[in-house]
Amino acid sequence: MKSSATTSVATRCGRVLRLLGHLAVGVFIIATRYSRLAQAERAVVTRRWAQHALKILGVSIKVQGINPGFYPPNTLLVANHVSWLDIIALNSCTVSRFVAKREIRDWPLIGWLAYAAGTLFIDRGNRRDASRVNQILAEAMQNGGCMAVFPEATTSDGSGLLPFKASLFEAALLAGGTVQPVSLRYQRPDGSLLLEAAYIDEISLLQSMGKVLSVPEIEIEICYGKPLKAGDAGLDNRFLLAEAARGEVARGLRLTLESPAASACQATSETGA
């Protein structure tokens, strides 16, 4: 498929109408019965909703590695961050509660949906807020939850991997949990990198959605890396955990990172993170 190929106006309009209808279904479920469901039932509903949303958008999922389960207990799932589609894609395979930047809470409708679905919001500009979120994350994990974070703390175009912020890895140590690295690669059916899905460069959410809707077919390769047991030898502090997880995510993206010495320098310079 040529990279210049785009969907017709009729196809885009059809996808928008179907997506709005599907969003309305999600709002209805969350507003009427989601809070009364057991966690396992919520996970089933969430995964089905995510899978159907991807189908509407013409997105297919290609899984590599071993999926840890549809709601693995005491797990901190960490992934690279490319698009607003990331959460939907991850939930279509492994359901998690996410940590998101505080600003998303103020987004019309989407912010409310995220909050009602159990998203935790963090003030990225306040380093002390990480301690509060870590305590909540650790407690949720110890109670059998699967939590998810994007440790790059921002989005990229998917062609590289930004340094990981180590702060929220503390939750895995507090909970004695497992860190599950996951790589997300947006590509065309022929395997070439797809940049249209990237939510970057100060574009609005509507502009980003328009770019996604214009692509005939999107394939998201989800690669599960080696699980990391927090507290094991070599994984007994947040910086080591973050670097090990970043290495696993990089391998899934088929990237070569900088030297370990350079990584260590970056980690030690991340004071208070």
34 vs 20, 31, 41, 133, CA distance in Å? 19, 7, 9, 23
Residue spans per domain, the chain: 9-253
Mean predicted confidence (pLDDT) in 14-22: 96
Q: Each residue of 178-210: pLDDT tens digit?
A: 999 999 999 999 999 999 999 998 899 899 999
Q: What is the average pLDDT score of the chain? A: 89
The share of the chain scoring above pLDDT 70, in percent, equals: 93
Please state the pTM of the whole predicted model. 0.88
Q: What is the pLDDT of residue 69?
A: 93
pLDDT value for 4: 54
Q: Is 118 exposed, middle or buried (0-12, 13-18, 19+ CB in 10 A)?
A: middle
- Report the distance separating Cα 272 and Cα 260, nearest Å: 21
| Residue 102 buriedness (CB in 10 A; 0-12 / 13-18 / 19+) | middle
pLDDT value at 265 more than 70 = no
- At 29, list the tokens: 């479920």
Q: Does residue 43 contact residue 75 with C-beta atoms inside 8 Å?
A: no
Q: What pLDDT sits at residue 81?
A: 96
pLDDT category, 124, cuts 50, 70, 90?
confident
Find all residues with CB under 8 Å of 248, minimum gap 6, and list them. Answer: 181, 183, 225, 226, 228
Tokens read off for 180: 């599950």
| C-beta of residue 165 within 8 angstroms of C-beta of residue 246 | no
Q: Are strands 178-187 and 228-229 parallel, antiparallel or unpaired?
A: antiparallel
